[in-house]
Each structure stands twice: as structure tokens, then as C-alpha cells.
Amino acid sequence: MAVYTDISDEELNRFLEQYDLGQLLSFAGIAEGVENSNFLLRTEKNHYILTLYEKRVDQDELPFFIGLMQHLADAGLNCPLPIPTNTGDTLSVCAGRPAAIVSFLNGTSARYPNTQKCHALGVALAQLHQKAKGMTLRRQNSLGPQDWAPLLESIDRDAVDLPQNLREEAAKILPKIVSAWPTDLPSGIIHADLFPNNVLFVGDELTGLIDFYFACSDLLAYDLAICLNSWCFEADGSFNITKSSAMISGYQSVRQLSEAELEALPILSSGAAMRFFLTRFYDWINTPADAFVKPLNPMEYWAKLRFHRNAKSASAYGVGL
């Protein structure tokens, strides 16, 4: 949660001259997003979000992310719509950083979404998968199964405050997941990071999917597995099968999952747990103690991984309940 780059009023006014948004009414940096700087921008015309892309985002990939949002919003998905400059560019420069203005979406996120919200998420996720079909730009998943072993190897020491055999244990399980990974499932563009904090609701109505900066081409059901991990465990670590059942049936109300996809849910969910375990483990080891953004504890995903390793079939996720 941070604003990394300050924008002076002179810089902002110069920047806004490129757009046809009317008189500026208010402007505030918001404490959302750990990769970029985000600002709430209100003008006579509407509410917007201004994003300044900081160093952790690869600038070459911005046209894909912006293009995807534009494509999905044009197709009617509740997601931010990039606003073009007067010369038609959806990517610009502000305060020396690549910058984009997108439409503002109403809604707030829930830390532990209820069953209705899980159902709505399933619906929206399948809509995203369907509506992304026309996208011509592609982006490879930089955190897919082939990247996990190198990521684990790059973690070259134990953390004093985590179990000491964690790297070894992960090194044992990881090849089992990768070797069992399905290759013949339907693929397409996935969000790849659709955690509850990236989904907005007004009441229980889903009003927005945001933060497309991990989107890539991969197995569609893997995206669902990521959501099963991030939406269906309770604060005490227990798995809520009512929620997962609702999410999957929401998904299937828009896009039917094949038998092979359903059968693959345990392995895909194990992989999703491994992927977030690994990036959190890496950050836990490599984040300086005085950093403003505190790393998330990887053990949460280690416990989730154990759940999925024990799941024998799709019924563990409430399919057919």
C-alpha cells in the first residue's frame, strides 16, 4: 500500500491537458496496489483512477494490460476502461512515469467474501474467460509451472521465523505437481491474480474486476483454482466447500467445465497454492525488515497446499453438491 511517486499540481495540470475530462475537482493518492502508484481523480465529467507504473512493471507489457482492459470493458465486463488522450493514446507519461487513466468503478472489496459473492465471482470469471477470446495480443505466464523450480532455487537460505525444512519439503512436492500438470485443457487469457482485494462489490452485487497486471495466457481452469485458493478458505484456515461449490456453479452457469477440467481441479489448486507459496516465500526472505510494504506469510499457502494435496477429486470442492 503506497504512493511511490508524488505529482505536483503543475505536472498534473500539464498531464491533464492531454485529455478531454473537463475541470479538475479533486485528486488524491490512494493506498492501494503494491506495484504502482494510484490516484483518485475526479473531474466535472466523472471519477477516474490515474495509475503511474513504477519500476516493477515491465513497460513492454503495458500495451497488453491496457489493451486487455479495453477489450474486456468494450465487451461489457465490469472492469476499468482505459481513457484515451486527445490523440487516442491509452498510455501516456506523467511525472516521468508511464501512466494511464482508467474509469473508476464503484464498490469495495471483502476480506472474506460470503457465498453469494463467491457465486458472483464464478460468474464474472467465466465471463472474463469468454470475453477475452477476441484479444489478439498475448502474454506468457511468467509465474507458470516451468518457473516454480527456478524460483524455489533462487531462495538460497532459510527464514529464521519459518519452519527450517520448508525449502526441502517444497523441493520434494514441487516436481510431483509439475509432472502431473495437465497440458490438454482449454486455455486462453486468464486474470491470474483474482484475489478478493481485486474484486469490488456494492452490497453482494459484483461491480468490478481490477488489477490485470498478472493477466496472461494459461489454462482457464487454473484461474478458477487460483480463486478457490484465495476465496474459499476461512480466517481459521478451514476450507468452506459451500463457497467453492457456489463459485464453481457460478462459473458453470456461463461456461461449462469439461470432465477433464473438473478432474484436474485438485492438481491445478495444488499448483496455484504452490505458486503463491513460492512468491510469498521469496518475498518473506528478500523484503528488507524496514520496508513499508510488509510481506505476506507464506505458511498460509503452505497449509492450503496440504489441503489440495489431500483432495481426491472435484467433489472435494463441492462439485455436484
In the bound state with a second copy, the residue whose beta carbon lies nearer, of 111 and 138, is 111
What's phi and psi for 202, nearest 5 deg? Answer: -115, 115
DSSP 22-68: -SEEEEEEES--SSSEEEEEEESS-EEEEEE--TTS-GGGHHHHHHH
- Which of 70-78, 199-207, 225-233, 256-264 is the region at the interface with a second copy (rule: CB under 8 A)? 199-207
Q: Is 8 in the site for a second copy (CB under 8 A)?
A: yes
Residues near 168 by Cβ (< 8 Å), separated by ≥ 6? Answer: none
The only residue of 21, 40, 254, 311 in contact with a second copy, by rule CB under 8 A: 40
Residue 281 CA to residue 301 CA, distance in Å, equals: 10
The only residue of 18, 27, 57, 303 in contact with a second copy, by rule CB under 8 A: 27
| CB-CB contact of 141 with 218 (8 Å) | yes
The only residue of 34, 93, 180, 202 in contact with a second copy, by rule CB under 8 A: 202
Q: How far is CA 140 from CA 18, 38, 120, 201, in A?
A: 32, 25, 27, 30
Residue 26 CA to residue 43 CA, distance in Å, equals: 7
Q: How far is CA 71 from CA 82, 141, 214, 248, 294, in A?
A: 10, 19, 16, 25, 34
Q: Closest distance between a second copy and the C-beta of residue 182, in Å? A: 35
Per-residue binder mask for a second copy (CB under 8 A), 86-125, x = binder: ------------------x-xxxxxxx-------------
- Which of 24-32, 164-172, 213-221, 271-279 is the region at the interface with a second copy (rule: CB under 8 A)? 24-32
In the bound state with a second copy, the residue whose beta carbon lies nearer, of 2 and 216, is 2
In the bound state with a second copy, the residue whose beta carbon lies nearer, of 27 and 282, is 27
Given the rule CB under 8 A, which residues bind a second copy? 1-3, 8-10, 12, 23-32, 40, 42, 104, 106-112, 200, 202-203, 290, 292
